[in-house]
Structure 1
Amino acid sequence: MPGNGWQVMASFRRDGSVMQQKLKPGTVGRIAGYARPYVRELVLFLTLNSLAALIVVANPLLLKAIIDQGIVAGRQGLVVWLAAAVAGLALVEAVLSLAQRWYSARIGEGLIYDLRSQVFAHVQRQPVAFFMRAQTGSLVSRLNNDVIGAQRALTTTLSAVVSNVISLILVLVTMMILSWQVTLIALLLLPIFVLPAKWVGKRLQRVSREQMVLDAEMGSLMTERFNVAGAMLAKLYGRPAEEEENFSSRAARVRDVGVVAAMYGRVFFTALTLVAALATAMVYGVGGYLVVDGTLQLGTLVALATLLTRMYGPLTALSNVHVDVMTALVSFDRVFEVLDLKPLIRDRKDARPLAEHPASPGSKPAPSLLKAPSIQFDHVRFAYPSAEEVSLASLESIARTDTAPGREVLHDVDFTAAPGSLVALVGPSGAGKSTITHLVSRLYDVSDGAVRIGGVDVRDVTLESLRAEIGVVSQDAHLFHDSIRENMRYARPDATDEEILAALDAAQIGALVTAMPEGLDTVVGDRGYRLSGGEKQRLAIARLLLKAPSVVVLDEATAHLDSESEAAVQRALRTALAGRTSLVIAHRLSTIREADQILVIDGGRVAERGRHEELLLQGGLYAELYRTQFSHQRDGASGNGVPGDEVLGDGVSGDGERRTEPLGAE
């Protein structure tokens, strides 16, 4: 009985609230689809479970035969043979146990691999808007906790149901055959066993829920304080004594709940063992009387007592199996919820690689990959998608209230960047500059109009081929917690060390990397925090140079550089951008003075266009921005006094007001 007591207790710890949840139609059918590749293993697994259940009954019957037909009858040879049979059965049971575990692991881990791989690939295809809304912890939970919970449906839960049902039927039939009187007495004791278990189980469920919540809160606190940005903020603004007190308070609550959970578990197990002992005493009392009376044989009594210990476990587990089954099904349903969220940005059925695609009617043919294509915005309108279109409420940490469609942030944007030209986007913060660049690489799709690369609508080409031709360096360059070499090879996996070093030299950071003790093997740290802002930015530019795309997007790529570094990178960019079509967002005039075309973006519209000198002569928004920032620079309020380093449009409009737009827009 104690052997399977913890398994029974785990069953009662399941959260019974899952029974109130409704599954989507077809969930069971989809689960069967995932089980189909493992049908052969499942059949063998369930067969092994059935054989193990037979051994549950065979052992007590052998003990009965040893006592009644061997010991009592004085047949020593038979006792030896039957004892050898018990030993052989124990060996078979051990082999069956190992085989069961192997098949269970093979099916379970295989299913986890299938689900995790599918969910990961599907999440990777979601648009940027999805990641702006979804909570990272919730996504990780779907890949870990829910996938493992779903796996239990085909291994732990299914095998437990099959083995418990077969064992229970065989045990009850055998006990009824041996002595129906003793069997009925044993069954009458069942409520005394099950009712306390359910009472304790409900409290275990409540404590377990509270324990998970407290563990999550403590884990979130540690995650926030232990990452580089959080640790730095805590050191600069935090109060160590209060931080320690806050954590100690949460840890103390976890400790207290852990003690309560441990005591409930011990009470459950003790009660389970006690009732089993009482039932065994009752069987020996009644059965012993019948043996003395000559109604029952001694071996039969021993067999009944042994079978009794193997009856209450399966009975109790099956009494709560509906919660186990529903828990596994709900886990599957939560995984399916993610898989059913269709990516807002995806390839059309007839999409073809950019290099193979014919140009749109009336435009020039699509260029080869060796030539820079044109970029055309054809009367583009754009509104950010609503929450329902890109995310799931269950993946967000707070309830969504913005159910209305997103407001339009780009209005009739129309311009053409000639092949190999440099087009600069300037304007107040929140005007829509970054939104325009996001449409080029198809991080979002236009609401109306079209964005064309080389005359081809970006929605008609495959995403892989489109993004292979576009290189982006953002204002906040991201680096993975890996070596410099692997961060560089993210742009070109087949790049050699010589090619990587050449790109680093072109980005004016090669000498710094080679001077490091570990060179290209230097680990940059979480998000690249072991490097300065300027070093991270130059590594990002080197990564762009290594990719060598035909279209380049720079979103304030020199924002974190000092004047000396910026001058060096500008020289590298001037060489790297030669012959490539470039779209550059920049506030510093040094970045845009040589642009072939400057687009002044204001309120989601192209307010002005032209070259630097032309726009200054027009006396419009561009001239106002220039005069405002230039006068501040002379007064020392901005810039650093270096010629050509004036700041343009740093979050202030021509009338001095700060502009805002939805999350994700520049």
Structure 2
Amino acid sequence: MATHLLTAAGEPHSRTPASDVRAAQRTCSPLLRLLGYVGPHRNYAALTVCFGVLGFALSFVYPWIIGSAVDVIVAPPDPGFPLAARVAALLRLTELAALTAVGHALVVYGRGHFNTCLGYGIVADIRRELFDHLQKLSLLFFTRERTGAILARVVHDVHEAASLIYMGLIVAALDAVQLVIAVALLLSISWKLTLACLVLFPFYGLVFAVMNPRVQRASERMHGQLTRISGNLVEQLSGQALVKTYTAEQREAERFAEEVARHHGFVVAQSHEGHLVASFGEVLVHIGTTLVVGYGGWLALHGEMTAGTLTRFLGYLLIMFGPVRRFAELNIVHQTSISAIRRVFRVLEIQPSVVEPARPHAVAPRRGHVRFEAVSFRYSQDSDETRVRLDDDREAGTASAADDAPCVLDRVTLEACPGELIAVVGPSGAGKTTLLSLLPRLYDVTSGRLLIDGIDVRDYSLTALRAAIGIVQQESFIFTGTVRENIAYGRPGATDEEVEAAARAAHAHEFITGFSDGYDTRLGERGVNLSGGQRQRLSIARAILKDPRILILDEATSSLDAESEAIVQRALEVLMRSRTCFVIAHRLSTIRKADRIFVLDAGRVVESGSHHELLARNGAYTRLVRHQADVE
């Protein structure tokens, strides 16, 4: 696809520097990018770290208390340290242990609570950013991706990615400090015994170096399969009517079971690789403990340390091995999160193909004069939106493939003067819906220009452009919510009187007031508790309330019965008054009133004229009319 588009003046369209930003982000480590989300929640991060430091500091107190108690208990009789003094010392140590226990309780609450606030704050920020970014992508992206795959990114992958912060990095940082302090304390007790234990660490590092790539690959396979399951599940649930009609429940259940079994296999494989690393670490931990018991005991027998000192050393050693043990668990979290981070940022790096111009025209079109000038369009464009595939994280399509792809629209030229009714007809697949989808920039033209009031649509602010365009489709989308909210979707601040006036004009007021809650009646997902005609009339009321200058009717009555069509047609006549209207329809009752009719075939305008003019030519339009008559 060309890197620039021509304006009416022949100058290249300037693009926002989004591509430069995306390129810079791609060169940045995913982990560093993730850390950037900590900033707004630094207070929670600081509190988490403070409680974490307090927690591992308190953990060093217990070995000292136990070692000191052992020395007090096993100390030989000494007139300078009588029994009463030893009992008093034990009481002080017990009181200190009790205070330490209270401190641990505070630490558990503080670290857990503030860590959760930090982690889920990051999750919320990334989800908001991801959702906002998805709203900026054109329909090219959504026509290629399954809803379930997108859902998996927003819900599951974001959570997995953020877990690296509040379950990985902070814990790892605290563990690193704890490890250094533990080693320092061990060296202060016995450098010989400490060095004997530290000899094991290179072997531990070798295990991770060898096993980590396998853990990472297993994590990527597991989460890739989970994305596919999400996509299949949403698709299957959305098509329940079709599944039941074709009695395919068992077949779908078997297919889902196969996908789940495959995911289970990947989970088992990841668990095998991850816990294999943990098992090697556990062996090394116990070898270290064995060294302390054997070599430390030998040093104690030769008078180089006391029983209490050896006890303290063993306690500090267990503290040192705590991070080593957790490192294996953190490694699984790390590998899982890194895979999720890459998948989330991969979506955020997708550059929209439809973007705001550098200097947008902020005034909405007022006249409604539309002109297509040699407009061509193909879906297989070479862009981020077509290359990235969420199900398998592979790039799909290349520049050469895009250049060779057939045009859905091929050098289409047509004009609609203000207030005209223009019909676009043609066989299925001719490009009718695609053509009119270019008006609100749901897609951008591949070549040519599309002008509204003499201004290229790519020069308008998207908000200004789309504010002037209303669409009523064959399948009207109804949101979960009240009737009032659905009608006022294009104008959320509309008054109750304005909403009711729009409903009356759309011949919807009668059935709305028949509901027990009237305009406050809650509608199910996609308006499943409404008939097709009722959904269409709500959609028309929504368009009437928006009051667009340009109106697009895409097969708005084709799926209705005769009675519903008559009611909806009356509502459409109200909606079309004094607007520039584009109508896609097969039925003569709709298109014969058009000022001009354009016949599309294979993406090209093959005929244009009025109904009577086209019939007189006895061409493509006439064949369409005869075919409809035969069908009816």
Q: Give the alignment's TM-score, normalised by structure 2.
A: 0.82
Show the 5 A alignment for 1:513-552: 513-552=512-551
Compared CA separation, residues 206 and 396, structure 1 to 2 (3 A)? closer
Q: Is the 8 A contact 2:147 2:235 kept in 1?
A: no
* 2:63 equivalent to 1:60: yes
Match of 1:394 in 2: 389
Match of 1:8 in 2: none
Match of 1:609 in 2: 608
Q: Is the 8 A contact 2:502 2:542 kept in 1?
A: yes
Q: More displaced, 526-535 or 571-580?
A: 526-535
Compared CA separation, residues 180 and 399, structure 1 to 2 (3 A)? closer
Find the aligned partners of 1:153 and 1:457 in 2 and give their Cα distance.
Answer: 46
Find the aligned partners of 2:327 and 2:102 in 1 and give their Cα distance.
Answer: 28
Q: Is the 8 A contact 1:376 1:417 kept in 2?
A: yes
Find the aligned partners of 1:119 and 1:265 in 2 and give their Cα distance.
Answer: 30
Match of 1:10 in 2: none
Match of 2:588 in 1: 589
1:178 to 168, 174, 189: 189
* 2:143 equivalent to 1:132: yes
Find the aligned partners of 1:415 and 1:220 in 2 and give their Cα distance.
Answer: 40
Compared CA separation, residues 220 and 571, structure 1 to 2 (3 A)? closer
Compared CA separation, residues 336 and 611, structure 1 to 2 (3 A)? same
Match of 1:337 in 2: 346
Cα distance per residue 1:473-496 (max 9 Å; x no partner):
112222223333332232221234
Find the aligned partners of 2:201 and 2:227 in 1 and give their Cα distance.
Answer: 38
Show the 5 A alignment for 1:159-174: 159-174=170-185
Match of 2:4 in 1: none
Kindly state the Cα deviation for residue 285 of structure 1 after the two structures are TM-superposed: 5.5
Cα distance per residue 1:428-465 (max 9 Å; x no partner):
22222222211211112233432222232212211011
Compared CA separation, residues 96 and 542, structure 1 to 2 (3 A)? same
Equivalent AA in structure 2 for residue 176 of structure 1: L
Q: More displaced, 468-477 or 73-82?
A: 73-82
Q: Is the 8 A contact 1:54 1:170 kept in 2?
A: no
Kindly state the Cα deviation for residue 220 of structure 1 after the two structures are TM-superposed: 5.5
1:112 to 119, 123, 144: 123
1:304 to 302, 313, 331: 313
Match of 2:245 in 1: 236
2:481 counterpart SS class? coil
Q: More displaced, 268-277 or 513-522?
A: 268-277
Q: Give the alignment's TM-score, normalised by structure 1.
A: 0.78
Find the aligned partners of 1:325 and 1:258 in 2 and give their Cα distance.
Answer: 16
Kindly state the Cα deviation for residue 186 of structure 1 after the two structures are TM-superposed: 4.3
Q: Is the 8 A contact 1:134 1:392 kept in 2?
A: no
2:628 counterpart SS class? helix
Kindly state the Cα deviation for residue 284 of structure 1 after the two structures are TM-superposed: 4.4
Match of 2:53 in 1: 50
Show the 5 A alignment for 1:283-322: 283-284=292-293, 287-288=296-297, 291=300, 294-318=303-327
Q: Is the 8 A contact 1:426 1:600 kept in 2?
A: yes
Match of 1:503 in 2: 502
Find the aligned partners of 1:481 and 1:301 in 2 and give their Cα distance.
Answer: 68
Q: More displaced, 512-521 or 280-289?
A: 280-289
Q: Is the 8 A contact 1:50 1:162 kept in 2?
A: no
Match of 1:7 in 2: none
Q: Is the 8 A contact 2:182 2:316 kept in 1?
A: yes
Match of 1:477 in 2: 476
Match of 1:651 in 2: none
Compared CA separation, residues 567 and 404, structure 1 to 2 (3 A)? same
Q: Is the 8 A contact 1:473 1:540 kept in 2?
A: yes
Show the 5 A alignment for 1:63-462: 63-69=66-72, 72=75, 73=81, 74=83, 75=85, 76-184=87-195, 186-187=197-198, 222-227=233-238, 229=239, 231-239=240-248, 280=289, 283-284=292-293, 287-288=296-297, 291=300, 294-318=303-327, 325=334, 328-355=337-364, 367=366, 372-396=367-391, 400=396, 403-405=401-403, 406-462=405-461
Match of 2:490 in 1: 491
Find the aligned partners of 2:231 and 2:408 in 1 and give their Cα distance.
Answer: 35
Find the aligned partners of 1:180 and 1:214 in 2 and give their Cα distance.
Answer: 50
Compared CA separation, residues 203 and 386, structure 1 to 2 (3 A)? closer
Q: Is the 8 A contact 1:133 1:396 kept in 2?
A: no
2:383 counterpart SS class? helix
Compared CA separation, residues 214 and 533, structure 1 to 2 (3 A)? same
Find the aligned partners of 1:408 and 1:247 in 2 and give their Cα distance.
Answer: 37
Q: More displaced, 302-311 or 550-559?
A: 302-311
Q: Is the 8 A contact 1:190 1:312 kept in 2?
A: no
Compared CA separation, residues 410 and 401, structure 1 to 2 (3 A)? closer
Kindly state the Cα deviation for residue 124 of structure 1 after the two structures are TM-superposed: 0.5
Compared CA separation, residues 386 and 97, structure 1 to 2 (3 A)? same
Find the aligned partners of 2:584 and 2:396 in 1 and give their Cα distance.
Answer: 32
Kindly state the Cα deviation for residue 545 of structure 1 after the two structures are TM-superposed: 1.8
Q: Is the 8 A contact 2:376 2:407 kept in 1?
A: yes
Unmatched runs of 5 consecutive residues or more in structure 2:
1-24, 76-80
Q: More displaced, 247-256 or 438-447?
A: 247-256
Find the aligned partners of 1:283 and 1:565 in 2 and give their Cα distance.
Answer: 87
Kindly state the Cα deviation for residue 157 of structure 1 after the two structures are TM-superposed: 2.1
1:380 counterpart SS class? strand
Cα distance per residue 1:606-653 (max 9 Å; x no partner):
3333222232223332223223432x1xxxxx23xxxxxxxxxxxxxx
Q: Is the 8 A contact 2:151 2:230 kept in 1?
A: no
Compared CA separation, residues 409 and 550, structure 1 to 2 (3 A)? same
Equivalent AA in structure 2 for residue 130 of structure 1: F
Q: Is the 8 A contact 2:386 2:396 kept in 1?
A: no
Equivalent AA in structure 1 for residue 482 of structure 2: S
Equivalent AA in structure 2 for residue 53 of structure 1: F
Cα distance per residue 1:384-431 (max 9 Å; x no partner):
351534234332558735733243333443333222221111222222
Compared CA separation, residues 62 and 392, structure 1 to 2 (3 A)? farther
Find the aligned partners of 2:228 and 2:107 in 1 and give their Cα distance.
Answer: 43
Q: Is the 8 A contact 1:70 1:78 kept in 2?
A: no
Kindly state the Cα deviation for residue 283 of structure 1 after the two structures are TM-superposed: 3.8
Match of 1:655 in 2: none
Compared CA separation, residues 155 and 556, structure 1 to 2 (3 A)? same
Equivalent AA in structure 1 for residue 369 of structure 2: S
Compared CA separation, residues 48 and 619, structure 1 to 2 (3 A)? same
Compared CA separation, residues 621 and 204, structure 1 to 2 (3 A)? closer
Cα distance per residue 1:569-618 (max 9 Å; x no partner):
11121122111111111111111222222222233333333222232223
1:473 counterpart SS class? strand
Kindly state the Cα deviation for residue 293 of structure 1 after the two structures are TM-superposed: 5.4
Aligned residues: 595
Find the aligned partners of 1:168 and 1:451 in 2 and give their Cα distance.
Answer: 66
Kindly state the Cα deviation for residue 353 of structure 1 after the two structures are TM-superposed: 1.6
Kindly state the Cα deviation for residue 162 of structure 1 after the two structures are TM-superposed: 1.5
Cα distance per residue 1:274-293 (max 9 Å; x no partner):
87677656644554565565
Q: RMSD of the TM alignment (CA)?
A: 3.7
Match of 2:27 in 1: 25
Q: More displaced, 258-267 or 70-79?
A: 258-267
Equivalent AA in structure 2 for residue 166 of structure 1: V
